[in-house]
Structure 1
Amino acid sequence: MNSSYSQSILRHNQLLWWLCVLSFFSVLNEMVLNVSLPEISSDFNQSPASTNWVNTAFILTFSIGTAVYGKLSDQLGIKKLLLFGIIVNCFGSVIGFAGHSVFPILISARFIQGAGAAAFPALVMVVVARYIPKGNRGKAFGLIGSIVAMGEGVGPAIGGLIAHYTHWSYLLLLPTVTIITVPFLIKLLKKEEIVKGSFDIVGIIYMSVGIVFFMLFMTSYRISFLVISILSFLIFVKHILRISNPFVDPALGKNVSFMTGIICGGLIFGTVAGFVSMVPYMMKDVYQLSAAAIGSGIIFPGTVSVIIFGYIGGVLVDRKGALFVLTTGIAFLSISFLIAAFLIEATPWLMTIIVVLVFGGLSFTKTVISTIVSSSLKQEETGAGMTLLNFTSFLSEGMGIAIVGGLLSIRLLDRKLLPLYADQSAHLYSNMLFLFGGIILISWLVTMKVYKRSQRNF
């Protein structure tokens, strides 16, 4: 019996180790190319609107795929889906590296990578819940959370160093490391019983078309793309209202507190993601920093600080309440954007402090948005509601990156509003930072108003 128990523990530990590898590379793949965006833009002679699709393409299929894999896990089995995701992710990596000199191939490869990598966050937590003993699940979830935070932290630094000393195309090969997990997962994951059920493929197609064309509109500003996007969303809404098992539960749309948390949270997350995608361009244009300096010196300290701020935010929610933590996080974000707007030419290392505060504010607001959204849901709505929150959080990040790329390209905000800067390139970034601060404050005001009203009604 002791031998059997020891073998079971060893099996669980091995499985947890390989899940950590998958979790690390799924997040690393999202962040690692960010610091190389200016170099990619220069190599292909593309505007930021087009270049940012290197990240947007990945996040788009990543966000949609996360929801799809989660819904398919009971019908097709975790083992098959996880192995499928690994193979697709690695295939996209090889295609991207082999065809990195052709821009459409690069973007297509990032779509493929995102479609594969989406399986990791969607299924890893389900595997832990099903395979790890109940007494050890807390430690397992904590370990995977730490690994994810580490991936977010070291991603920019690794990306900057590899791009600086070799070439950014080699970053596309990093996810292929996950292929080593395949034989171990085949051995460690059991064969599962398949549950028959319907899956709303039509709804996913309508929604995906609407999202893609909206992002295309925000990067090219072609009215035809906006028309297609609106029509697709209208058809999608009509579709989910008339079928029994829709991809998105329309009943959630009637919950004002829930929808406010989703929309305002999405605006905050998208703004921060857009800011982070803008930092490499800003540091390159204003200070002529290398990818290694941007990744290691500017972005890396901020991404690492997420671990500390995330813990502090969780403690403060219990002690001071959600509204206090939300206000603190918003203060970090808005004040940071305003300071950066006024002092953008002061020193590049000021931006290191700004990025740390921005990621700190993001950690606080993410904690609170999750709390607000979950508390606004009935018990039977929790699963669908939190899945939708995760989906919209990822999606808003992709939208934020696409929108910022479009604004950097059309130079709509390239006006001398502040007579402080001699460098023409500083005007655009300063105005963008003012815009970010305004969006954050408006989102906070709306969230506070609706949340307080819901508390009184409750």
Structure 2
Amino acid sequence: MTDTATTTGAQAADDVDEATNKMAIGALIPLLITFILGTLCLQGFDLVFQQVGVAVGAPEHASLITALPSIVLGIVCFIYGSLGDFVSLRKMVTVGLVTLLVGSLFGFIANYFFQANLWTVITARVLQTAGEQVAGSAYLVVATKYLRNSLKVIFFGLFTAGYQLSAAIGVFAAGLLSSLSWQFLFLIPSVTILFLPLLLKNLPAKNGNGKKVDIFGFTIFGLGTAFLTLFFSYMNWWLLLVSVVLFVGFGLYIDRAKSPFVTPAFFRNVRWIMAISLIALFYFVNYCISPFFNAIGHDVYGMSTIQVSDYVVWAFVVATAVGTSSGVIVGKIGRQHAIITAGCLMTLGFVGSALLVKSGFLVLTLMACVFYAGVGLMYSPLISTVLGTLPKSESGRGVGMNDLIMNVTGSIGIAIFGGLMGAKAMSGSSLVGATGAAASYSNLLLVGGGVLALGVVAYLVFRKKIYSDAA
């Protein structure tokens, strides 16, 4: 069947009216700005966490400044998206922005005017992360439920462009951020509280489906996610065992509970399972390209991190430009061709980097730009495709699952590839005749390209079923 930016037949027939569409646009812009500023703050602390660890007298525990908020991010991504089906978005966003403001002010005041402490930094970052993510989740729920179908891919594209813009600013400002008083980083997202009146005006006030929130179900699933994320951060097998036990318990619970937040039928949706598997494949290497290039620059070309960032920042700029234009591109060529094109670009970026690892860092940067062009194009049509397999009543849970799969598979990918990079695995020989570190990185990049190529093949195999109107 032909495919433009349409959703499933059921959703296409259930488009929103002009007043609802206008309301959605009025809410999406401030939510996007809030998400960008929160992500920029996250990027800033990711860049200077080691400096902060030294400043607070705990350099050996500096990684906790990013690790613990990342665990919180993985949990709240799912919970916030899912809550969009049950509770008022006004209440959810209000709580989120207030939490973000409290975290920002607490972090700055406690660490600037008083003795800086590791746990005040971590507490503030956890609060900021929990508060900031509500903007991203609410944005996707509003775009899915209250925006006209013809505009969805455009605003999905703007969302990924906003993320890439934040990453570009963070990478480009690496040297500057490391020279500033790091406490001021806490204040970056604090101005978002000014958007609250506008959001309260435009966000829908109704309480989702009116059902009682399944607190127990959210808790057990959230704990399972937390232990799974901890496992891939620290590779302690007991963490994985606890996670498996919790998820098995969750499965037994939703099979017997009267009103679970998600039913077993949700996971029996074959079209959704096929579509969500594409996210797992295409985003498996999502966190890997920057560490790869940083390691190649250091070990193969003798470059510093700041020198590498001066090159790699252009890849994020390309991703931002393509992400901003992705709605128009999808409108011209359709979702199916857009996903295939994006997947091929991402694969080419990895494979090209592998084959050209010793051809100069400028050439590698061009390959990074090819990869990130694919990343910028992929998000909008892929998310639209995945959410198109679900009824609108389950779109919030769909958004939550998308975020969860992206975070978990990306974490698995960086844990696996990061460990292999550190061990200089596959360093004996390579297709390009390199040895040592260059051979290791070339071979690992080829493996990553293979995963992305598998994603393209899986899409070609699954797409007829995914876009069918069968229930």
Q: TM-score band (shorter)?
A: 0.7 to 0.9
Any idea what the Cα deviations from partners look like across 1:136-180, whole Å, max 9, x if unmatched?
x9999978975872553253444453x424527856743523323
* In structure 1, C-alpha distance between the alignment counterparts of 2:222 and 2:123, rounded to whole Å: 16
* In structure 1, C-alpha distance between the alignment counterparts of 2:190 and 2:439, rounded to whole Å: 46
Partner secondary structure for residue 36 of structure 2: helix
RMSD across aligned positions (CA): 4.6
Partner secondary structure for residue 279 of structure 2: helix
Residue identity in the other structure for 1:452 = K
Between structures 1 and 2, the one with greater helix share: 1
Q: Pick one of 28, 52, 74 that aligns with 2:40.
A: 28
Matches within 5 A, 1:40-439: 53=67, 56-57=70-71, 59-67=73-81, 70-71=84-85, 73-74=87-88, 77-78=91-92, 80-90=94-104, 93-94=107-108, 110-123=125-138, 146=158, 149-150=161-162, 152-161=164-173, 163-165=174-176, 167=178, 170=181, 173-182=184-193, 185=196, 189=200, 195=207, 197-298=211-312, 300-310=313-323, 313-378=326-391, 380-409=393-422, 411=423, 413-418=425-430, 424-439=436-451
Q: For residues 146 and 127 of structure 1, do their structure 2 counterparts lie closer, same or farther at Cα, with a shift above 3 Å needed?
A: closer
Partner secondary structure for residue 303 of structure 2: coil
* In structure 1, C-alpha distance between the alignment counterparts of 2:110 and 2:368, rounded to whole Å: 30
The Cα of 1:265 is off from its aligned counterpart by: 1.0
The Cα of 1:121 is off from its aligned counterpart by: 1.7
User: Quick check: 1:49–1:219 contact (8 Å CA) kept in 2?
Assistant: no
Long gaps (5+) in structure 1: 1-11
* In structure 1, C-alpha distance between the alignment counterparts of 2:120 and 2:415, rounded to whole Å: 18
Q: For residues 284 and 59 of structure 1, do their structure 2 counterparts lie closer, same or farther at Cα, with a shift above 3 Å needed?
A: farther
* In structure 1, C-alpha distance between the alignment counterparts of 2:39 and 2:438, rounded to whole Å: 31
* In structure 1, C-alpha distance between the alignment counterparts of 2:337 and 2:152, rounded to whole Å: 30
Residue identity in the other structure for 1:349 = L
Any idea what the Cα deviations from partners look like across 1:259-294, whole Å, max 9, x if unmatched?
121122123123122323443344333334344333
Q: For residues 89 and 239 of structure 1, do their structure 2 counterparts lie closer, same or farther at Cα, with a shift above 3 Å needed?
A: farther
* In structure 2, C-alpha distance between the alignment counterparts of 1:79 and 1:47, rounded to whole Å: 32
* In structure 2, C-alpha distance between the alignment counterparts of 1:17 and 1:33, rounded to whole Å: 25
User: Quick check: 1:328–1:361 contact (8 Å CA) kept in 2?
Assistant: yes
Residue identity in the other structure for 2:464 = K
Greater mean alpha carbon deviation, residues 205-214 or residues 179-188 = 179-188
Provide the residue aligned with 2:7 in structure 1.
none
State the identity %: 19
TM-score normalised to the size of structure 2?
0.75
The Cα of 1:359 is off from its aligned counterpart by: 1.4
The Cα of 1:230 is off from its aligned counterpart by: 1.0
The Cα of 1:377 is off from its aligned counterpart by: 2.8
Partner secondary structure for residue 77 of structure 1: helix
Number of residue pairs the alignment of both structures matches: 442
Q: For residues 169 and 422 of structure 1, do their structure 2 counterparts lie closer, same or farther at Cα, with a shift above 3 Å needed?
A: farther
Greater mean alpha carbon deviation, residues 281-290 or residues 360-369 = 281-290
For the pair 1:443 / 2:452, whether they are aligned, the reply is no
User: Quick check: 2:229–2:408 contact (8 Å CA) kept in 1?
Assistant: no
TM-score normalised to the size of structure 1?
0.76
* In structure 1, C-alpha distance between the alignment counterparts of 2:74 and 2:142, rounded to whole Å: 24
Any idea what the Cα deviations from partners look like across 1:412-444, whole Å, max 9, x if unmatched?
735323175767333432232122112112222
